[in-house]
Structure 1
Amino acid sequence: MFDPAAWIQAARPLAQINIALPLLLGQAMAFAVLGRFSVGLLYCAGVFGTLAQLVIVFVNDFADRETDAHNTTFSRFSGGSRVLPEGRLAPATLRLAALVMLAVFVLFCVVLAVVSRPWAPAFALATALLVWAYNHPPLRLAYRGHGELLQGLGIGVVLPLAGYYLQAGTLAGFVWPALVPLLLLGYVGNILTALPDAPSDRASDKRSYPVRRGQWVARRHALELLAMAAAMSSWVLPGLSLLGTALVAAPALVMAAMAVPLLGSADAENRTECERFVLLTAGAGHLLVLVWGLVLVLRGLW
């Protein structure tokens, strides 16, 4: 029996912010450079991001099904969608859905290539390769370690480039240094979503960042890398003065500072504080990207 609620749960709508923001930032960068913007192409980028997310979350849930089944410290931001541990969907069904979404994703990008964006399939291929390397042998870096680098590449490199290209039709004028702080933010995002899952990851020998480095060190590094990305605001916004950098970074750093008192106590076993730490730190990263995007839009309007 088809259960719409189960599929909505499997799609993890809250996770879309991780996909949508870098795509939007890439498009804001294109607007700042070119001074033009297409709502139709914005819609196309939205479809691209939605399909990419469905591929990612369905594949991740299937690949992590055994680990998630023993996870008792999951949160709204981690531990998968829970449709498999709860028995709402069968693993084979979710695997089939992942393959179907991948086919639709590739087909959509092929159509874009035929119509106006010949390199669109390259971004679908890059996304698929990163998802495969993250979840499946022989690399399976989510379990072998350093999967956070793949997420950094996906969220911080592939998606901003895809957003820029889909809106501009070219990568000419792209601010390449921007990829460094964006990669850092994607890296931080993986650390944060792994924090609540540390006990079950350790039990299943999944070598996530908190398992390899310890939860306290992982929390500290997440905040430090976020601060580094904020300090690199001029890499995203060329010509930004030192004062401008401070003003742009301030809202995110204030939010991140609210997570500092939780550094010593927000272990996964303390679910309330762990979730609060993740929410504040991830929110600070999202806020930083939003401020960057706003400044880019203002530059485009000027």
Structure 2
Amino acid sequence: MRVESMSPGARWLYALKPASWPKVLVPALCGQAVGAAVAGRISAGALAFGALWMIADVAFVVLLNDWGDREVDALKRRMFPDGSSPKTIPDGILPAHALLLAGLGAGAAALLVAWGAGAALDRPLLLPLTALALLVFAAYTLPPLRLNYRGGGELLEMAGVGGVLPLLHAYAQCGALAPAWLAALLPGLLLCALASALASGLSDEQSDRAGGKRTAATLLGNAATRRATEALVGLGALLWPAASLLGDAAPPPWSVAPATAVALCFRARLVRRSAAAVTNAFAAQAAYKRELHRAIWGGTTALAAAVLAAGLRAGRGAA
């Protein structure tokens, strides 16, 4: 890719990284689906809020993450000039100040959307939940906390992606802060989010270590991080059918079985690719993470669809 020939629109599209959006969109969709299942109907207003909010939130996260990581990204480009795709700031695709201003503007837009939807949908907690979601990310990558550098960033990502996002979107649909069905499924979602967070550091292991970041990959090494990733995604998928044994407090077993089957199928493929995904084997690591994403995103999407069908079929009342 020749950076100098890119149009302004292409530069911003590249900076927004659409391929990474499902990491945030899928758990939000799951929250919407479970909330609608609990309510027994789909709220078009909540769906509209979810779509607008997610555009703003994804832009906030992606742009400010690049701004916060600009120094270690530049270090990785120097260490491995041919080992990764161009980085937004170090490779001159967009200047740092443009990403900072656009990211902050996107965060303000997310707050504004939540305020408006909270009034329109009678969901007063949408604004504080949005503020919590933005603060979780700020603590992850922005000063002064920068927990992705100090240590514990993966746990913070687990809480934000696997917990706050589905809770916020379920609340938008049904008006319950922690509807029983979502509470039953949340442990599995949290473990899958943690698996994704651990694996995201594999390709940056050496540059992150050189840049002073404390991640699972820099502290435990490549092999231990892969083993933990594979264990977490498998356990997360198995917790969904286990949760269905809780009776009325959880979705019926038939609605979670497809999600577990999808996740475990792709986990098996993930394990087969594991041995090749060693340190600095960037192509093999990318293939490894594709299977992980298929396990998590495919399993969670199947979970959302089947649980929604179960809730609408049962005609459940609001939680």
* In 1, Cα distance between equivalents of 2:131 and 2:84: 26
Matched, 1:259 2:266: no
- Compute the displacement of 1:79 (Å): 7.5
SS across alignment from 2:214: coil
- 2:112 aligned residue: 107
- Compute the displacement of 1:236 (Å): 5.6
Q: Which of the numbers 179, 196, 203 marks the counterpart of 1:196?
A: 203
> Identity of paired residues, percent?
30
- 2:153 aligned residue: 147
Query: Over aligned residues, Cα RMSD in angstroms?
Result: 2.4
Unaligned 5+ runs, structure 2: 1-5, 245-249, 314-319
- 1:186 aligned residue: 193
Which letter maps to 1:206?
K
Q: Is the 8 A contact 1:196 1:267 kept in 2?
A: no
Moved more, 256-265 or 217-226: 256-265
* In 2, Cα distance between equivalents of 1:150 and 1:160: 15
Q: Which of the numbers 155, 160, 167 marks the counterpart of 1:161?
A: 167
Instruction: Report the number of matched residues.
Output: 298
- 2:15 aligned residue: 10
- Compute the displacement of 1:149 (Å): 0.7
- Compute the displacement of 1:255 (Å): 1.1
Moved more, 30-39 or 158-167: 30-39
Which letter maps to 2:278?
D
Query: With structure 1 as the length reference, what TM-score do the two structures score?
Result: 0.91
* In 2, Cα distance between equivalents of 1:133 and 1:263: 31
Q: Name the one with the larger helix percent.
A: 2
After superposition, give the CA deviation of every residue in 1:12-59 in whole Å (9 maximum; x if it has no partner): 111211111111111111222221002332121011111111111111
- Compute the displacement of 1:296 (Å): 0.5
- 2:139 aligned residue: 133
Matched, 1:300 2:307: no
- Compute the displacement of 1:258 (Å): 1.1
Q: Is the 8 A contact 1:12 1:57 kept in 2?
A: yes
After superposition, give the CA deviation of every residue in 1:160-205 in whole Å (9 maximum; x if it has no partner): 0111011113336343132211111111111122111112111101
* In 1, Cα distance between equivalents of 2:73 and 2:40: 46
* In 2, Cα distance between equivalents of 1:57 and 1:268: 25
* In 1, Cα distance between equivalents of 2:88 and 2:99: 9
SS across alignment from 1:33: helix
* In 2, Cα distance between equivalents of 1:66 and 1:234: 43
Query: With structure 2 as the length reference, what TM-score do the two structures score?
Result: 0.86
- Compute the displacement of 1:247 (Å): 5.3
* In 2, Cα distance between equivalents of 1:34 and 1:80: 44
* In 1, Cα distance between equivalents of 2:7 and 2:258: 50
SS across alignment from 1:267: coil
Q: Is the 8 A contact 2:61 2:137 kept in 1?
A: yes
- Compute the displacement of 1:230 (Å): 0.8
- Compute the displacement of 1:245 (Å): 6.1
Matched, 1:19 2:30: no
